[in-house]
């Protein structure tokens, strides 16, 4: 199976978060064109990454453990309060399952993916978006306490409601399967085949750069120096990825 490997580190494409989102939405819309798609957003919360206006009257089911996020959700046809690591749907239910910026918060990523595969129709797509634990921000998040994440959002990103119910940052765990390479190996063992992968510049980095220009310039210089010292083996700017797998 051919994989659409954008991998902006190698190709030099526009690797901004906005460009990455536009590209993956286009890919999904093309794959679901003409279908009355049944979509499951796992941990979908209140924001839809799926390009709903581009689809043909989709049916959307959201499962989230956060009641506040579900109350704020305005687009789902069905909203379920539950844990995606244990909540199961009947086999062959969905054309698309979306799990965006969620797996880094789960202690049992494998259990969630096992249930996703069961719920997918044959030929259905599983879209996973997550931060790379190998980027600068990924490593900083993984090895720092949650109170520091809240402080960073409130002070640096100027999000005054950070840490309040239903508001990020949410507690992170970084199960080993959050690493793209390890995740791909696990999904291969599940017979989920990759059809799209894009590693792009991290969203948190771009937010710091845009909201705090002076700090952003300092951070950019520091990352470039660290990449130079490590012979660009880590690609520390590239903090997020999109992965789509097919059943």
Residue 2 clears pLDDT 70, i.e. is over it:
no
pTM of the model: 0.89
* Across 9-23, 28-42, 79-93, 183-197, least confident range: 9-23
Q: How far, in Å, CA of 128 to CA of 41, rounded?
A: 10
Q: How confident is the model at residue 196 (pLDDT cuts 50, 70, 90)?
A: very high
CATH number corresponding to 4-132+173-203+237-246: 3.40.50.150
User: What are the structural domain ranges in the chain?
Assistant: 4-132+173-203+237-246
Question: DSSP per residue over 200-222, as a string?
Answer: E--HHHHHHHHH-HHHHHHHHHH
Q: How far, in Å, CA of 145 to CA of 193, rounded?
A: 35
Residue 213 clears pLDDT 50, i.e. is over it:
yes
Cβ-based neighbours of 207, under 8 Å, separated by 6 or more: 157
Residue 99 clears pLDDT 70, i.e. is over it:
yes
pLDDT per residue over 142-171, tens digit each?
Answer: 999 999 999 999 999 999 999 988 888 999
Q: How far, in Å, CA of 125 to CA of 246, rounded?
A: 5
């Amino acid at each position: 199976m051919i994989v659409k490997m954008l991998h902006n580190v190698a190709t030099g494409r526009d690797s901004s978060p906005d460009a990455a989102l536009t590209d993956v939405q286009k890919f999904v819309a093309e794959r679901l064109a003409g279908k009355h798609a049944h979509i499951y957003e796992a941990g979908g919360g209140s924001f839809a990454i799926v390009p709903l206006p581009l689809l043909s009257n989709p049916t959307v089911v959201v499962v989230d453990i956060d009641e506040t996020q579900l109350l704020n959700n305005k687009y789902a046809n069905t909203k379920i309060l539950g844990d995606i690591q244990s909540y199961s749907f009947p086999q062959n239910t969905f054309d698309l399952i979306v799990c965006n910026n969620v797996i880094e918060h789960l202690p049992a990523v494998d259990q969630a993916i096992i249930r996703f595969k069961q719920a997918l129709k044959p030929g259905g797509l599983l879209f996973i978006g997550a931060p790379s634990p190998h980027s600068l921000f990924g490593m900083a998040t993984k090895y720092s306490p949650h109170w520091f994440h809240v402080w960073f959002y409130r002070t640096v990103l100027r999000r005054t409601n950070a840490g309040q119910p239903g508001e990020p940052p949410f507690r992170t765990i970084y199960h080993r399967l959050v690493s793209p390479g390890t995740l791909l190996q696990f999904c291969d063992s599940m017979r989920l085949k990759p059809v799209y992968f894009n590693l792009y510049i991290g969203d948190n980095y771009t937010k710091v750069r845009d909201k705090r220009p002076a700090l952003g310039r300092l951070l950019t210089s520091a990352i470039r120096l660290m990449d130079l010292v490590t012979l660009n083996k880590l690609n520390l700017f590239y903090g997020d990825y999109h992965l789509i797998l097919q059943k």
